[in-house]
Chains A and B, each alone.
Chain A
Amino acid sequence: ETGVTQTPRHLVMGMTNKKSLKCEQHLGHNAMYWYKQSAKKPLELMFVYSLEERVENNSVPSRFSPECPNSSHLFLHLHTLQPEDSALYLCASSQDGPGQGADEQYFGPGTRLTVT
């Protein structure tokens, strides 16, 4: 595997379900991110982890819960979601953490989530 991988690629869940999204980066990077992409809207940053510590949380509802067990893996745990949470969820990674210079992010293919 190379780059950033995400599983599953597609997920349909009911509002009462609990599911998790998984992201793995094979680039040796130190920072990982979760973004939400909805139609006609810019990418919205949800969470930032640097060296496995959460450094930014953009006021995301508590029904989204991130977990970063090591610098290569990132999870997004989902529970009691709403239909408006249906979107493409993207994971990204970058070499450096906060305050260490402009640093391009590399994205995975995304998980297309549909909440019914």
Chain B
Amino acid sequence: EDQVTQSPEALRLQEGESSSLNCSYTVSGLRGLFWYRQDPGKGPEFLFTLYSAGEEKEKERLKATLTKKESFLHITAPKPEDSATYLCAVQPLSNQAGTALIFGKGTTLSVSS
């Protein structure tokens, strides 16, 4: 069964304290892996797409990496405005519709000043 597991469930950091969020996935084949940011009461905001192991993408203080079994979202020197829930989703090759994403439960990040 295709599955996505995110850890930790919640993470509290001090401003400037770098850390990483983990997304482990089990799929028969990976079409793509996606990271989203969601603020309270809002819809998810697209951050990155990763397609193959070894790929990396960066945006400001965020860097996403991908291996064959997991992805990491590295946050360097975070600021309070980085506080949000970060969602990971995979699009399996086996999905007949070809478009359905399987989401993890998310990691809620709190950054204090």
> Which residues of A line the B interface, CB within 8 A?
4, 6, 31, 33, 40-43, 45, 48, 50, 55-56, 58, 90, 92, 94, 96-110, 112
Q: Given that A90-B43, A107-B43 are contacting pairs, would A102 and B103 also be in contact in the complex, using a CB cutoff of 8 Å?
A: no
20 contacts between A and B (CB under 8 A): A31-B99, A40-B105, A42-B4, A42-B102, A43-B89, A43-B103, A45-B100, A45-B101, A48-B97, A48-B99, A56-B97, A56-B100, A94-B99, A97-B99, A98-B99, A100-B98, A104-B34, A105-B34, A106-B46, A108-B43
| B31 and A102 contact, CB distance less than 8 A | yes
Contacts A102-B91, A103-B99, A110-B41 aside, 9 further interface pairs with beta carbons under 8 A come to: A43-B44, A55-B99, A56-B100, A58-B100, A97-B98, A98-B96, A104-B34, A107-B44, A109-B43
A98→B105 contact, CB < 8 A: no
Chain A's interface: helix, strand, loop or mixed, by majority? loop
The answer on a CB contact under 8 Å between A101 and B31 is yes
Q: How far is the CA of A90 from the CA of B41 in the complex (A)?
A: 11
Q: Which A residues lie within 8 Å of B97 (CB)?
A: 48, 55-56, 98-99
**Shortest distance between the CB of B99 and any CB in chain A (Å):** 5
Within 8 A of A (CB), among B1-38: 4, 31-32, 34, 36
Instruction: List, in ascending order, chain B residues with CB within 8 A of A41's CB.
Output: 105
- The residue of chain B having its C-beta at the shortest distance from the C-beta of A106 within the complex is B46
Name B's A-contacting residues (CB within 8 A).
4, 31-32, 34, 36, 41-46, 49, 51, 87, 89, 91, 96-106
From B36, which residue of chain A is reached at the shortest CB distance? A107
Chain B nearest CB from A58 CB (Å) reads: 8
Q: Which of B46, B100, B102, B103 contacts A104 (CB 8 A)?
A: B46
**Across the interface, which residues of A come within 8 angstroms of B104, CB to CB?**
42
Write out the residue numbers on chain B whose beta carbons fall within 8 Å of the beta carbon of A99. 97-99
A4 to B, closest residue via Cβ? B43
How far apart sit A103 and B31, CA to CA, in the bound complex (Å)? 9
Asked whether A109 lies within 8 Å of B105 as measured between CB atoms, the reply is no
